[in-house]
Amino acid sequence: MAVCAPLWNSASGRGMRDEDKQSEPWTARQTRKVDGGFRQLTDWVAQSNGHFLVGNSIPLADQAICSALGFMSVHFPDHPWKTK
């Protein structure tokens, strides 16, 4: 879920400042973190040579990725992570 946390915090209003005190560069940085995390996940999947990222059964890593993707689908349906 660390992949999604920066975007969730900025979009959910958790810790949000008043609109006049919000930083566009900070929000852009959080979005870049999420995008970078998804790029890394894409690379790992491409290199996995199988059905799972690690080993021959469903490890915790695969379960965590599924959770993060489900979270993004529900809370950020307009984020273009599926097409990147």
Tell me the pLDDT tens digit for each residue of 16-28: 677 787 788 988 8
Q: What does each C-alpha distance from 66 to 15, 19, 79 come to in angstroms?
A: 27, 33, 16
Q: Could you say which residues of the chain have pLDDT below 50?
A: none
Q: Residue 76: its pLDDT value, please? A: 83
The distance between the two most distant Cα atoms of the chain, rounded to a whole number of Å, is: 51
pTM over 0.85: no
Q: Residue 55: its pLDDT value, please? A: 76
Helices 60-75 and 5-12: angle between axes, nearest 10 degrees: 20
The answer to whether 80 and 15 have CB atoms below 8 angstroms apart is no
- Alpha carbons 23 and 17: distance in angstroms, whole number: 9
Q: Residue 16: its pLDDT value, please? A: 64
Q: What is the DSSP letter of 84?
A: -
